[in-house]
Chains A and B, each alone.
Chain A
């Protein structure tokens, strides 16, 4: 049976929440009473560009409906700033995954970087970069102190690191019994060059007490229910991780402002840990004398059983432990699955491998379902916590159907499993080998 396409159409988006669709697509704000859209200049231009002609009487155009010029288009809608081929797993909150072949760049460009939102981002119009402040406080902070982004830039040394961000639930779709949540396949990962200041430098400027245990964050995203009392997400990391050199308060990604959906204008970046630790639209950091207890810190969120359990087993909350470093993993980013080639043609393979806090020591590929493995060239990481590129050439003995499998081994000798790793109730940490289909004709 053909699986239902996971992409979402323009109509569907407008059906769900027309006002939100307007905001997402055109940045159009609406007056809830008259339902008349206020088209800002930029939004008007965007609408015009999409229609191929300026819209006459745009100021009268009611909120939350699809302009007819687009209503006929059956093409999936595009999230501004994001590649149209990203797969929309969820549109409220927005969750976009990147197909493996779109991760072929050495550094993932902003338009191809996956999106895992737990809530609704702050209104783009409310983001005032010049007046955005970051406040540090908490029971283990020596004082409460705020910085504008400009102050961060002026007061502290700027650093750029290539850091992998991967959602803890990447690969969830394969677990059985199934786990609830966004059914990520392989694409909730990316590696970009992040620029900002070290969290460590800022925390030292504020001063932290010796009883500090955890560093938590709060961002400006809003809970999906619309309840302003509720946080969308507020997680963090132990102080030791916060104090690492590569732990950044970042304002730029690949030399440009961070994309809106990825946390513009300020976010945390903790490479190699579940990306949910790296708060977006960052406004507040709390230095805690205990494990931070913000939204989605408690079991079962972003936790796995402390001791291994059988598939489907019930696990008590107190037996669930917070995920820290992500496991070793790799992706084949070239060619795209489905490649057809001629007999005697050699197939070049390339991709990336990463290993959470560790480095990747060995990379292998197989064309016979793991019966034999051949080594791939593996490059050194640009810096700690970056992904490493690999490439190989494989050939095929005769015509037919093949799969190319890739397997990374980390610096402590742990490899990716070919079958699924141990089951866990929330479907985290699936680092099973990636594979692509190839036909030789």
Chain B
């Protein structure tokens, strides 16, 4: 190996080492930069742009997304109305919620006969229209899904509903 060759060899070594050192330093500063951004980024953001109003279109889009989200059935319950999504629920939704909240259905329980009485009462006094062929569908649905439960003359307190707390005296 000539002196020239040796020198070229050393030079290549030095170049390689220098490249490694520069890479490590570069990566280090990039990491520090990212770290600082992660901590102060949100604060710095405001320096340049100020608070940004959400455009109405964006709000509408998000809302449409949310609304669409609720008009669906999950675990057998229609989220928007709370109705049990069994056969006939769409007819009940269309007919009953035209005038009143679906809660007036879901919080009540009755036999088919009892539900029929409520329909008659609404027809006689509250302006409910003739239901025609829909009536049987609606009554079947209500009788099947909102039927009376057996209970004693005085039920136990509902243990699942009680939120126990330490009373400070």
Contacts and interface: CB of A to CB of B under 8 A. Distances in A.
A225 B99 contact: yes
Residue among A4, A16, A68 with max Cβ neighbours from chain B (10 Å): A68
A68 B118 contact: no
A156 B38 CA distance: 71
Interface in B58-108: 58-60, 62-63, 66-67, 70-71, 80-82, 97, 99-104, 106-108
Interface string A391-432: 000000000000100000000000000111000000000001
Interface stretch (A52-60, A75-83, A191-199, A262-270): A52-60
Range class of the B interface residue count: 35 or more
Interface in B153-169: 153-155, 157-167, 169
B151 A15 contact: no
Interface stretch (B2-10, B27-35, B48-56): B48-56
B26 interface: no
A180 B118 contact: yes
Interface in A167-185: 174, 176-178, 180-183
Contacts of A60: 56
Residue among A65, A340, A418 with max Cβ neighbours from chain B (10 Å): A65
A89 B103 contact: yes
Given A65-B60, A67-B59, A183-B107, A341 B169 contact: yes
Contacts of B167: 335, 339-341, 347
B153 A12 contact: no
B41 interface: no
A88 B101 CA distance: 11
A36 B107 CA distance: 34
Contact of A418 (B80, B154, B159): B154
A227 B157 contact: no
A312 to B, nearest CB: 9
Interface residues of A, number: 62
A338 B99 contact: no
B80 A12 contact: yes
Contact of A12 (B70, B154, B162, B164): B70
A32 to B, nearest CB: 17
A404 to B, nearest CB: 11
B58 A56 contact: no
A68 B70 contact: no
A86 B168 CA distance: 24
B63 A336 contact: no
Contact of A89 (B100, B107, B160, B161): B107
Given A57-B56, A176-B148, A419-B153, A16 B70 contact: no
Given A11-B66, A68-B63, A340 B103 contact: no
A66 interface: yes
B61 to A, nearest CB: 9
A360 to B, nearest CB: 22
A207 B104 CA distance: 43
Nearest to A8: B103
A65 B148 contact: no
A286 B70 CA distance: 47
Residue among B54, B60, B155, B158 with max Cβ neighbours from chain A (10 Å): B54
Nearest to A173: B107
A92 B63 contact: no
A338 B155 contact: no
Contacts of A432: 154
A90 interface: yes
Contacts of A345: 169
Given A11-B70, A67-B59, A340-B164, A91 B101 contact: yes
B62 to A, nearest CB: 4
Contact of A71 (B66, B97, B155, B163): B66
B132 interface: no
Interface string A1-18: 111101010011011100
B63 A176 contact: no
B143 interface: no
11 contacts: A15-B71, A176-B148, A180-B114, A182-B107, A225-B127, A295-B125, A337-B157, A339-B165, A340-B167, A345-B169, A432-B154
Given A56-B54, A65-B67, A68-B63, 12 more contacts: A4-B82, A4-B106, A11-B66, A68-B54, A71-B66, A91-B101, A180-B118, A223-B127, A225-B99, A227-B127, A335-B167, A338-B163
